[in-house]
Amino acid sequence: VRISYADLEKIQVLGHGNGGTVYKVRHKRTDNTYALKVVHGETDATVRRQVFREMEILRRTDSPYTVKCHGIFETPSGDIAILMEYMDAGNLETLLRSNGTFSESKLRDVASQILKGLTYLHSLKVIHRDIKPSNLLVDRKMRVKISDFGVSKIMCRTLDACNSYVGTCAYMSPERFDPDAYGGNYNGYAGDIWSLGLTLLELYMGHFPFLQPGQRPDWATLMCAICFGDPPGLPGGASEEFRSFIECCLQKESSKRWTAEQLLNHPFLCKDKKSDQ
Ligand code: ADP
Ligand code: MG
pLDDT at residue 153, rounded to an integer? 77
pLDDT at residue 187, rounded to an integer? 67
pLDDT at residue 260, rounded to an integer? 98
Cα 241 to middle of ligand 1, angstroms: 32
Closest residue by CA, ligand 1 atom 11: 15
> What is the ipTM metric for this complex?
0.98
> Where is the binding site for ATP, in residues?
37
Residue 124 in contact with residue 63, Cβ under 8 Å?
Answer: no
pLDDT at residue 276, rounded to an integer? 45
Please name which ligand lies nearest the alpha carbon of 16.
1
pLDDT at residue 154, rounded to an integer? 73
Q: Which of 137, 139, 152 should be mutated for ligand 1, with most atoms under 8 A from CB?
A: 137
pLDDT at residue 136, rounded to an integer? 98
| Catalytic site residue from 62, 109, 130, 178 | 130
Please name which ligand lies nearest the alpha carbon of 147.
1
Listed in sequence order, the residues at least 6 apart from 197 whose beta carbon sits closer than 8 Å to its beta carbon are 231, 246, 249, 250
Q: Is 147 in the pocket of ligand 1 (CB under 6 A)?
A: yes
Q: Which of 10, 11, 14 should be mutated for ligand 1, with most atoms under 8 A from CB?
A: 14
Residue 135 in contact with residue 92, Cβ under 8 Å?
Answer: no
Q: Is 91 in the pocket of ligand 1 (CB under 6 A)?
A: yes
pLDDT at residue 169, rounded to an integer? 82
Cα 146 to middle of ligand 2, angstroms: 10
Residue 35 in contact with residue 87, Cβ under 8 Å?
Answer: yes
pTM score of the predicted model: 0.91
pLDDT at residue 17, rounded to an integer? 72
pLDDT at residue 177, rounded to an integer? 80
pLDDT at residue 164, rounded to an integer? 56
User: Is 130 a catalytic site residue?
Assistant: yes
pLDDT in tens, the chain (277 residues): 689 999 999 999 999 876 689 999 999 999 999 999 998 877 778 777 888 888 889 988 999 999 999 999 988 888 889 999 999 999 999 999 999 999 999 999 999 999 999 999 999 999 999 999 999 999 999 999 999 988 787 765 444 444 455 667 889 898 888 777 775 555 689 999 999 999 999 999 999 999 888 888 888 889 999 999 999 999 999 999 999 999 999 999 999 999 999 999 999 998 755 554 4
